[in-house]
Chains A and B, each alone.
Chain A
Amino acid sequence: MQGSLRTRLWITVVATATLCLAALAGGGPSAAAAPAAKPGIITSAGQSSDAVMVNVLANTQLKLGLDFDPLVQAESLAGYRTLVVVVGASAKGLGAAGINEEQEMARVTALLEQAKAQDAFVLLMHVGGTARRGPSSNPLIEAVAAYADAMIVVRSGNEDGFFTQLAQEYGIPLTEVERIVDAREPLSRLFGA
């Protein structure tokens, strides 16, 4: 009985991952089949400028038409079907936002809980390389990965296999890209653009 349940769970994880991978790899070009549906919103976890980079990439360059609010609160998430979380902590950014690491973690956790409650697709993006890893960023990365449906990561941030381990632990597809601009293709495919 226990073995059967484990097998069914494993099949579910693999099937989900396969669907997401297919979308990331080009298997789902139509908006209807895309795992990341609109409306979507981009936010930050850590308040680094990386979220602005992803916003420009997604909206100015790819014209995905996503909303952007680096400080969006859980109660403002209603109606969104996709949440893109750009992870990377910046003391300067947190300071400018007038919050500390604990408050940011609380906001992000509440946001992820809300996304889960409304069955929104959660995409983790990490584009800041090694500069956005370490004691301030890693707990945020772990928190978001626990809720993520897919991850797009610039390779230099995963040199120690941190994201690979998280992807395996949570059974979610991980797409590594060499540069931030290389994230355009997997991002487009996720949104069926």
Chain B
Amino acid sequence: MSAMVHVSRKRWGARTGAWVLLLALVAPLAAAAGSGPYVGHDIRPGVGVTRMVWLSEYHPPLRGTPGDTPVYILEGSQPGSTVFVAGGTHGNEIAGVMAATVLVEKAVVTQGRLIVIPRANNSASTYAEVEYGDPEWIWLVTPSGPRAFRYGARRTHPDHHGTPDPAVYVHPKGSTFEGYEIRNLDRVHPGRPDGTLTEQVSYAMVELIRRENVHVAFDLHEAGPTSRLANMLISHPKGLEIGALALLNLELEGISMKLEHSSEDFRGLSHREWGDETDAYAYLIETPNPGQAPDRMNPDVVGDPEAPLWKRVGTQLATIRSVLEAFTMADPSFAFEYTAPDYADLEARGLGAHLN
């Protein structure tokens, strides 16, 4: 566990325990049943999860659509700041999905709140780009036995989108993209309440960040191993210095990440729009996924010798922790304490051991 904070789980009373037990039993069933054409996932909330809501709580028209997705809330016994983590903006960027899943299953918050969405674009997790040999599922051995996790695609499923892709997608703030990018959740932020399914998912996430008064927000991604984005922290300009401090501290631990700031011209990205449209400090983390190499064919997205999944998930978790530690050091208004598996834990025992 991270050395940052020390938490006694004895603080958690019988009431919380009962809540968690109920969630652990009910949540997977609820997810499997869903509300409408929702696709469920095997997520087993841990003792740290105190509530689960649906993203549609922040934008009711999403209810019953493939864009709705569970939101897990981990509340500490002491009041404090709110941290938001989104995995699965791109369904194939599996390290982000799994890092968010580890937080839901193993993190415990003692001060403040952690809000986690493991499958931000749930529609994108309903299909894989099998033409490139991408797997539809990954399997991990966990303490409760083998578990399967969906390996999705980059964009909203075309059948869920409602209308054919335009020839050109023009973001409301002016950036121009290929037409299919209208289904890319990380091109449509801050979304529109009456827009496409993807834009409505984005809108709901921004509403969540606003209404829950999120202080620090993370969007977890992956890039091709040779991409300049691989192993990078991208920060909205207002959080750049804290991001730099986090990366310097992380480097002392042997994890090297590059730093870049959001472009003003490239609109629609989470770190740019969340930072502009809300009070949150917004960050995007990228790790190198062999499943996103341009010439890939049947990539080993779990056991690749250069970038195994445990290492990528460990890097995501360590980067989140280092950024939060930097906020603790540099921002007097930030108060948040938690424990969660970290890079060294995953290196020692693998990813599966840190799931329920």
Shortest CB-to-CB span from A185 to chain B, Å, is 13
Chain A residues, CB < 8 A from B235 = 49
Q: Which of A50, A55, A95, A131 is within 8 Å of B241, CB to CB?
A: A55
Q: Which of A49, A96, A179, A181 is within 8 Å of B259, CB to CB?
A: A49
Interface residue? A64 (CB, 8 A): no
Interface of A is mostly: helix
Cβ B258 vs Cβ A96 within 8 A? no
CB contacts under 8 Å to A, within B237-277, are: 237, 240-241, 244-245, 247-248, 251-252, 256, 258-261, 263-266
Bound together, the chains give a CA A61 to CA B248 distance in angstroms of 9
Cβ B245 vs Cβ A49 within 8 A? no
Interface residues on B, range: 20 to 34
Chain B residues, CB < 8 A from A92 = 260-261, 263, 266
Cβ B241 vs Cβ A179 within 8 A? no
Bound together, the chains give a CA A131 to CA B260 distance in angstroms of 11
Chain A residues, CB < 8 A from B228 = 131
Cβ A96 vs Cβ B263 within 8 A? yes
Chain B residues, CB < 8 A from A56 = 241, 244-245, 248
Q: What is the size, in residues, of chain A's interface with B at 8 Å between Cβ atoms?
A: 21
Interface residue? A28 (CB, 8 A): no
Q: Which of A49, A131, A181 is within 8 Å of B251, CB to CB?
A: A181
Chain A residues, CB < 8 A from B261 = 49, 52, 92-93, 96
Across chains A and B, the number of contacting residue pairs, with CB separation under 8 Å, is: 55
Cβ B248 vs Cβ A181 within 8 A? yes
Bound together, the chains give a CA A92 to CA B235 distance in angstroms of 12
Chain B residues, CB < 8 A from A57 = 244, 248
Bound together, the chains give a CA A93 to CA B252 distance in angstroms of 26
Scoring A residues 86 to 99 as 1 if CB is less than 8 Å from chain B, else 0, what string do you get? 00001011011000
Bound together, the chains give a CA A50 to CA B260 distance in angstroms of 8
Cβ A95 vs Cβ B252 within 8 A? no
Smallest Cβ-Cβ distance to B254: which chain A residue: A179
Shortest CB-to-CB span from A128 to chain B, Å, is 7
CB contacts under 8 Å to A, within B288-346, are: 330
Cβ A96 vs Cβ B264 within 8 A? yes
Interface residue? A18 (CB, 8 A): no
CB contacts under 8 Å to B, within A43-66, are: 48-50, 52-53, 55-57, 60-61
Chain B residues, CB < 8 A from A49 = 235, 240, 244, 259-261
Known A128-B258, A131-B228; judge A53-B264 contact (CB<8 A).
no
Cβ B259 vs Cβ A53 within 8 A? yes
Shortest CB-to-CB span from B266 to chain A, Å, is 8
Give the residue among A55, A56, A95, A179 with the most B Cβ atoms within 10 A: A56
Q: List 28 A-B contacts (CB under 8 A).
A: A48-B260, A49-B235, A49-B240, A49-B261, A52-B259, A52-B261, A53-B247, A53-B248, A55-B241, A60-B245, A60-B330, A61-B248, A90-B260, A92-B266, A93-B261, A95-B263, A95-B264, A96-B237, A96-B264, A128-B258, A129-B258, A131-B228, A131-B258, A179-B251, A180-B247, A181-B248, A181-B251, A181-B252
- Using A95-B264, A95-B265, A181-B251 as known contacts, list a sample of 5 further A-B pairs with CB atoms less than 8 Å apart, ordered by residue number in A: A55-B244, A57-B244, A60-B241, A180-B248, A180-B251
Query: A-side interface residues toward B, CB under 8 Å?
Result: 48-50, 52-53, 55-57, 60-61, 90, 92-93, 95-96, 128-129, 131, 179-181
